[in-house]
């Protein structure tokens, strides 16, 4: 173990494997998947597919994150926000990560197949391949549109949750997909703006590196407009009611303020605030969907 690794106060092996799963990212993935499950049924959810779906999707998401860490360990060692991960620190080896990701992902897929349904398992496997292989290995080092194209994998969790409860994918589930799909570019490009020098040093063709800051700021604004429009889709397809509509408009207005400010008067501090707000935005938006859903059931 390296001296850097030895200096880590939370250096237990279990914690190191836990860190491989990117727990903060996976918690948002599981949260949106759970919302998809709860919105898919008009009343109380069936306990077995709900619990098994939550565990299975969470395990596969954690496995995908571990594979991402495996592929990007050299890039992670360069960037300040990722250099404290277990692989760059030498706390875990590539073999550890590969075995861990394979076992955890395999268990997650087995749970989905045997205790949820085959459709959810296959969709989750496709999502895993989309993130761990297509996005991480192919798109991210190749094109500045990596976030846009690769965002499809990150937008799948509510669809997976919906499929877990219903055994199908409907138009309502796809509206949830479109929200996260449209949210991903302004979310990540806000991060890329204030981390642009690190991405350039690591050789990752993020949009601010390949097309410059001004062009990226414009795209953050344009995709935020698209996001606000997509956030209204659940109301238009009658998946939600007025509580959600009011919440979506209010949250969308807040995101638009950040996007306009980034476009007109950029600073790294503002980009950091926008990135943090984008996480609050998505969490609050999906929470509003859930509150609206059960409020309408009670009425």
Q: What is the pLDDT of residues 190-205, one digit of tens each?
A: 999 999 999 999 999 9
Cβ atoms within 10 A of the Cβ of 265, count?
9
Q: What is the mean pLDDT of residues 269-283?
A: 98
Q: Which token pair is 111? A: 């749970």
pLDDT value of residue 7: 42
For residue 85, give the 3-state DSSP assignment.
coil
Q: What's the pLDDT band for 81 if we cut at 50, 70, 90?
A: confident
Residues 6+ apart with CB under 8 A from 44: none
Give CATH superfamily name and number for 9-169: UbiA prenyltransferase (1.10.357.140)
Q: What's the pLDDT band for 57 if we cut at 50, 70, 90?
A: very high
Report, in angstroms and rounded to the nearest whole number, the Rg of the chain calculated over CA atoms.
Answer: 19
Percentage of the chain exceeding pLDDT 90:
90
pLDDT value of residue 19: 95
Q: What is the mean pLDDT of residues 222-228?
A: 98
Q: What's the pLDDT band for 80 if we cut at 50, 70, 90?
A: confident
Q: What is the pLDDT of residues 91-141, one digit of tens each?
A: 999 999 999 999 999 999 999 999 999 999 999 999 999 999 999 999 999
Q: Which residue matches tokens 């890039």? A: 75
Residues 6+ apart with CB under 8 A from 97: 20, 66, 67, 69, 70, 87
Chain center to CA of 163: 18
Query: Is residue 3's pLDDT more than 90?
Result: no
Summary mean pLDDT of the chain = 94
**First-to-last C-alpha distance (Å) of the chain:** 59
Distance between CA atoms of residues 166 and 163, nearest Å: 5
Q: What is the pLDDT of residues 29-55, one digit of tens each?
A: 999 999 999 999 998 899 999 999 999
Q: Are 109 and 60 in contact (CB under 8 A)?
A: yes
Cβ atoms within 10 A of the Cβ of 280, count?
12
Distance between CA atoms of residues 112 and 126, nearest Å: 13
Distance between CA atoms of residues 183 and 177, nearest Å: 10
| HSE of 120, CA atoms in CB hemisphere, 13 A | 35
Q: Which CATH class is domain 170-299?
A: mainly alpha
Computed from CA positions of residues 79, 82, 83, 88, in that sequence, does the dihedral angle turn out positive or negative?
A: negative
Query: Is residue 226's pLDDT more than 60?
Result: yes
Q: What's the pLDDT band for 298 if we cut at 50, 70, 90?
A: confident
Please state the domain extents for the chain.
Answer: 9-169, 170-299
Q: What's the pLDDT band for 11 if we cut at 50, 70, 90?
A: low
Distance between CA atoms of residues 30 and 36, nearest Å: 10
């Amino acid at each position: 173990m390296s001296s850097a690794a030895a200096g880590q106060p939370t250096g237990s092996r279990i914690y190191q494997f836990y860190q491989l799963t990117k727990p903060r990212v996976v918690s948002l993935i599981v949260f949106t998947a759970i919302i998809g499950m709860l919105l898919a049924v008009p009343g109380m959810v069936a306990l077995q597919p709900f619990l098994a779906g939550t565990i299975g999707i969470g395990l596969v998401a954690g496995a995908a994150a571990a594979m991402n860490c495996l592929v990007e360990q050299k890039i992670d060692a360069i960037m300040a926000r990722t250099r404290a991960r277990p692989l760059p620190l030498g706390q875990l080896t590539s073999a550890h990560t590969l075995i861990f990701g394979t076992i955890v992902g395999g268990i997650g897929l087995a749970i989905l197949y045997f205790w949820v349904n085959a459709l959810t398992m296959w969709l989750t496997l496709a999502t895993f391949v989309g993130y761990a292989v297509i996005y991480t290995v192919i798109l991210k080092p190749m094109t500045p549109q990596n976030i846009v194209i690769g965002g499809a994998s990150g937008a799948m969790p509510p669809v997976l949750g919906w499929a877990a409860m219903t055994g199908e994918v409907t138009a309502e589930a796809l509206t949830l997909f479109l929200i996260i799909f449209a949210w991903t570019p302004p979310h990540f490009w806000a991060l890329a703006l204030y981390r642009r020098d690190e991405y350039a040093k690591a050789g990752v063709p993020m949009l601010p590196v390949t097309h410059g800051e001004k062009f990226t700021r414009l795209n953050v604004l344009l995709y935020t407009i698209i996001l606000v429009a997509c956030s209204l889709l659940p109301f238009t397809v009658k998946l939600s009611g007025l509580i959600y509509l009011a919440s979506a408009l209010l949250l969308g207005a807040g995101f638009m303020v950040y996007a306009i400010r980034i476009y007109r008067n950029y600073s790294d501090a503002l980009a950091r605030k926008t990135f943090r707000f984008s996480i609050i935005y998505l969490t609050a938006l999906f929470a509003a969907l859930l509150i609206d859903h059960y409020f309408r059931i009670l009425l």
